[in-house]
Every structure is written in C-alpha cells, then in structure tokens.
Amino acid sequence: MPKRDGCPICGEPTQSEFKPFCSRGCKDRDLLQWLGEGYRVPGEAVDPNAQTGLDTGRDPD
C-alpha cells in the first residue's frame, strides 16, 4: 500500500504535531466524524432488541 502524502481531510501537507493531519482543526473534524457516526464500518444490520448471548453479569429476570 503506497504511503499517502498530505492531510486525509483537506490534502494540505501534514504537520508533525498533528500527524497525520495538517492542523488541530482537521484532527478535531476527523474526531467529530467518528463521534457523530459520520464514518461507518460496513457490516450486517443488528437488531438492538435481539439477545446477543453475552453474559451481562446480571441475574436472569
């Protein structure tokens, strides 16, 4: 995979302090995309009401 040059948000040259971004603004913009679910990893839809089979540590009802 070839190495990218420039900020992944705006394409400007990166700054070592904010690497791989060019500035604090682009770094924060990227974080907000993750927090606001702007970036998503593809996968199957999950029913939030379905039982997962994971132990929650609670006693059964």
CATH fold for domain 1-39: Erythroid Transcription Factor GATA-1; Chain A (3.30.50)
pLDDT at 15 (0 to 100): 94
- Tell me: is residue 10 an annotated ligand-binding position: yes
What are the Cα distances from residue 43, in Å, to 21, 37, 51, 53?
Answer: 28, 14, 18, 19
Q: Where are the domains of the chain?
A: 1-39
Helices and strands in the chain: count of H runs, count of E runs: 1, 0
- The Cα–Cα gap between 59 and 61 comes to 6
pLDDT at 43 (0 to 100): 87
Q: In 10 A of CB 27, how many CB atoms? A: 18
- Tell me: is residue 23 an annotated ligand-binding position: no
- Tell me: is residue 7 an annotated ligand-binding position: yes
pLDDT at 12 (0 to 100): 96
For the cut 80, the answer to whether the pLDDT of residue 61 exceeds it is no
The tens digit of pLDDT for each residue in 6-55 reads 999 999 999 999 999 999 999 999 999 999 988 888 888 888 787 666 65
26, two tokens: 């682009």
Quote the pTM value.
0.59
